[in-house]
């Protein structure tokens, strides 16, 4: 392994997406400072049937030029994304002290490495600025502002620089139960840092997903950490084409790379005002809304057809937040919130969340089911308990007009 260099090494985890890997690595090779940069590639071993594609990726990697050095770590067996990437990064970063970490679908602008190396040195001993991120979300509030770099409360894993101690902090981070309960003392997290975080934190807490960006968002929300970004993104994610592990085809995160030669990576980073932070975070809330803008109106029409203004809501997730936001002036009374997983610490919008069994003891006539895929299971569960609720819901095909 190369000894510690003057410039930060770059680590890229790859599997079988040859076109994505090629575009990512070649964009790095075109960066200023590439010839002074050590490149490490973590190539996971093939699953059954992927041998030929993995071989093609590795043949390309062995021909890569333009860097100070290229080290390809070829796994003989398939370790999986976390063991290959995360464990490999941890091993390298312990020896190199810091690293710039890329996914295999992160195409970067020529100024990317200069930005990363400059800011990594600036934040080395900083208490609250914990990473330098090359990707910046296409938020209108950022495009309007007059600055080159900005401090943001939402980390991006698409091309980020980080020191070894902060990376270890990420690995050690665990989401606490009280921060997914939506009690009054934790609800401010989601109002300040984004209501979309609620479902992400829950998914991570219950083991449905294990992602470093969710861990970092949790640290940012609970410890007020910030990350530094270019105003206009220096990284473009090309993986939203249906080939990514956790992504469906989408253009929501698409950006134009910062190609201006006069971009000033040394410019002081601007800190958003409270109102600007709200507008920035709202972009993530809107991006998390996988339903079309008319979905809540469809619910309202069904509620009106049922002839009721008072009802309980089954479901406490981002769709419920969107429903409450859009229903603010409609004169509804939400009597209770219900969820199958509710416990004594479960609160939503300041109210105790009931289990289905607890709901049976309340005077509830109508229940609005705010779910896309679980309606049948919810109604079946309620009927199994002997409930006689009148359910108001949308069929799955009524959610079909989705944003891409």
Q: What is the pLDDT of residue 187?
A: 63
Residues 37 and 153 in one domain: no
The tally of domains found in the chain comes to 3
For Cα atoms 53, 160, 177, give the angle at the middle one, nearest 5 degrees.
100
Structural domain contains residue 169: yes
Q: What is the pLDDT of residue 215?
A: 96
Residues 115 and 219 in one domain: yes
Structural domain contains residue 404: no
- Of 104, 136, 153, which residue sits at a domain end? 104
Q: What are phi and psi of 70, to 5 degrees?
A: -130, 120
Cβ neighbours of residue 260 closer than 8 Å, sequence gap 6 or more: none
At 207 the three-state DSSP class reads coil
- φ/ψ region of 307 (left if φ > 0, alpha if ψ in -120 to 50, else beta) reads left
CATH number, residue 343: 3.40.50.720
Q: At 368, list the tokens.
A: 């609005």
Residues 265 and 365 in one domain: no
What's the rounded Cα separation, in Å, for the pair 136 and 134?
7
CA dihedral over 214, 124, 66, 262, signed as positive or negative? positive
User: HSE-up of 106 (CA within 13 Å, CB side)?
Assistant: 25
If one counts every other C-beta atom within 10 angstroms of the C-beta of residue 141, the result is 18
Structural domain contains residue 116: yes
Structural domain contains residue 190: yes
Residues 390 and 303 in one domain: yes
**Structural domain for 336, as ranges:** 295-399
Structural domain contains residue 205: yes
Cβ neighbours of residue 41 closer than 8 Å, sequence gap 6 or more: 11, 12, 13, 14, 25, 61, 70, 71, 72, 73
Residues 138 and 89 in one domain: no
CA dihedral over 164, 272, 154, 256, signed as positive or negative? negative
What's the rounded Cα separation, in Å, for the pair 253 and 272?
21
At 402 the three-state DSSP class reads coil
Burial of 327 (0-12, 13-18, 19+ CB in 10 A): middle
Burial of 398 (0-12, 13-18, 19+ CB in 10 A): middle
Residues 170 and 269 in one domain: yes
Residues 339 and 253 in one domain: no
CATH number, residue 30: 3.40.50
- Of 82, 104, 126, which residue sits at a domain end? 104
CATH number, residue 170: 3.90.550
Residues 157 and 263 in one domain: yes
Residues 223 and 351 in one domain: no
What's the rounded Cα separation, in Å, for the pair 36 and 99?
14
From first to last of its 404 residues, the chain has per-residue pLDDT tens of 555 668 999 999 999 999 999 999 999 999 999 999 999 999 999 999 999 999 999 999 999 999 999 999 999 999 998 999 999 999 999 999 999 999 999 999 999 999 999 999 999 999 999 999 999 988 878 877 788 999 999 999 999 999 999 999 999 999 988 787 655 456 667 768 887 887 788 888 888 788 999 999 999 999 999 999 999 899 999 986 554 444 444 466 667 776 555 688 999 999 999 889 988 888 887 776 545 557 888 999 999 999 999 999 998 876 787 788 788 789 999 999 998 877 776 777 778 889 999 999 999 999 999 877 678 889 998 989 998 899 999 987 777 554 43
What's the rounded Cα separation, in Å, for the pair 300 and 327?
8
Residues 95 and 136 in one domain: no
Structural domain contains residue 183: yes
Nearest to 148 by CA among 34, 234, 27: 234
What's the rounded Cα separation, in Å, for the pair 130 and 137?
18
Residues 244 and 160 in one domain: yes
Nearest to 134 by CA among 22, 275, 217, 10: 10
Residues 117 and 205 in one domain: yes
Q: What is the pLDDT of residue 362?
A: 94
- Of 86, 104, 122, which residue sits at a domain end? 104
């Amino acid at each position: 392994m190369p000894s510690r260099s003057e410039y930060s090494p770059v680590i890229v985890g790859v599997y079988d997406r040859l076109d994505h890997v090629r575009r990512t690595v070649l964009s790095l090779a075109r960066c200023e400072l590439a010839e002074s940069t050590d490149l490490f590639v973590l190539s996971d071993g093939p699953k059954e049937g992927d041998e030929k594609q993995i071989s093609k990726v590795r043949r390309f990697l062995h021909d890569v030029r333009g860097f100070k050095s290229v080290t390809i770590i070829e796994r003989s067996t398939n370790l999986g994304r976390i063991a290959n990437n995360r464990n490999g990064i941890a091993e390298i970063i312990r020896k190199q002290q810091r690293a710039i970490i890329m996914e295999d679908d992160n195409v970067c602008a020529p100024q990317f490495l200069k930005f990363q190396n400059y800011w990594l040195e600036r934040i080395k001993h900083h208490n609250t600025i914990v990473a330098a991120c090359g990707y910046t979300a296409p938020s209108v509030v950022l495009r309007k502002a007059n600055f080159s770099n900005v401090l943001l409360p939402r980390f991006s894993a698409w091309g980020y620089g980080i020191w070894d101690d902060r990376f270890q902090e990420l690995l050690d981070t665990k989401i606490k139960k009280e921060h997914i309960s939506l009690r009054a003392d934790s609800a401010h997290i989601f109002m300040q840092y984004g209501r979309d975080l609620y479902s992400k934190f829950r998914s991570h807490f219950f083991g449905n997903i294990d992602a470093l960006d969710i861990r970092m968002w949790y640290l940012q929300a609970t410890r007020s950490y910030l990350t530094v970004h270019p105003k206009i993104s220096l990284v473009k994610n090309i993986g939203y084409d249906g080939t990514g592990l956790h992504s469906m085809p989408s253009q929501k995160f698409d950006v134009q790379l910062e190609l201006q030669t006069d971009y000033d990576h040394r410019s002081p980073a601007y800190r958003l005002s409270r109102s600007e932070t709200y507008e920035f975070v709202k972009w993530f809330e809107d991006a998390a809304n996988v339903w079309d803008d008319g979905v809540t109106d469809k619910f309202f029409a069904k509620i009106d057809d049922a002839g009721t203004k008072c009802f309980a809501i089954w479901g406490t997730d981002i769709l419920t937040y969107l429903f409450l936001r859009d229903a603010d002036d409609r004169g509804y009374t939400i009597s209770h919130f219900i969820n199958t997983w509710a416990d004594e610490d479960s609160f939503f919008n300041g109210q105790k969340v009931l289990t289905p069994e607890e709901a049976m003891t309340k005077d509830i006539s109508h229940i609005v089911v705010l779910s896309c895929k679980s309606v049948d299971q919810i109604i079946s569960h309620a009927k199994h308990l002997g409930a006689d609720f009148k359910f108001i819901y949308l069929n799955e095909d009524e959610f079909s007009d989705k944003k891409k």
